[in-house]
Amino acid sequence: MFTRQLSFSTPIFLSIFLVQEALISQFRLPGGGFSILLIFALTWSVLSQPEVAAVIGFASGLLMDLSQSASGPFGQWTLIMLLAGYAISYIGYGDDNVHANAIGIVFFVVVATFFVEIAFLISGALLGVSVGSIAQVSLTLIGMSLWTLLVAPIMLPVFTKLHALVFDSRSVI
């Protein structure tokens, strides 16, 4: 079971990472744009059990650390995404208002994106990473959240189908 999940999810993660780095990064979108990998990882985390969500967060964080645009030390995104994945899954686990409701999932993903970026800023500050002026940071935070709000509903059917395929889940939105 575990081997099947791993062999299915690895190419999916790598493909989304490739799309993010080779295609989405071509656009300098206003307000900082969005991260498809972040949206994907958080959507899967909402749909999964807490320990599975932690592994999803760990894997996606590792890929985000491999990105050339990652400014912090290697492992910073891994740690943040691991904790974020576990936390949002733990909060929403067993609650059908979240799992069976597309609006609930999108809401969770947008809020989680906002807090994940704030966690990155705080941990970055502790590790000595410069992040820029408050106005610019605020603009990026709001911009990324709005982009996530725009993109997450569009990608949600694809991401939930992939989740169902890998984890053999019955709930497809």
Partner 1 sequence: MRNGGRARLLLVILIVTSLFLITLDLRGVKVIDGFRQGTQTILSPFQRAGAVVLNPLGDFFSDVTHLGRTRKQIEKLEAENANLKIRLLNRKNADGQLEQLKDILDLAGTAGYKVVNAKVISHGSSQSFSQTLTIDSGSNAGIRKNMTVLSQYGIAGVVKDVYPNSALIQLASDPSFKIGARIAGSQQIGILSGQGNRSATLQLLDNSTTVNIGDVLLARGSSSNRPFVPGVPLGYVSRVDNSAGAIAQSAVVRYYTNFSILGVVAVVVGGPSSNPGDALVPKKPQVTPIPTVTVTVTPTPSPAD
Residue ranges in contact with partner 1 by CB under 8 A: 18, 20-30, 32-33, 35, 38, 50-51, 54-55, 58, 61, 64-79, 82-83, 86, 117, 120-121, 124, 127, 129-133, 136-137, 140, 143-144
Amino acid code (one letter) for 170: R
Closer residue to partner 1, CB minimum distance, 23 or 165: 23
Closer residue to partner 1, CB minimum distance, 45 or 76: 76
Rounded least distance, CB 83 to partner 1, Å: 8
Q: Phi, psi (5° rounding) for residue 73? A: -70, 155
Closer residue to partner 1, CB minimum distance, 52 or 156: 52
Q: Phi, psi (5° rounding) for residue 75? A: 110, -15
Rounded least distance, CB 126 to partner 1, Å: 11
Closer residue to partner 1, CB minimum distance, 46 or 79: 79
Q: Is the dihedral of CA 156, 159, 165, 169 positive or negative?
A: negative
* Torsion angle of C-alpha atoms 144, 51, 66, 133, degrees rounded to 10: 30
Amino acid code (one letter) for 142: I
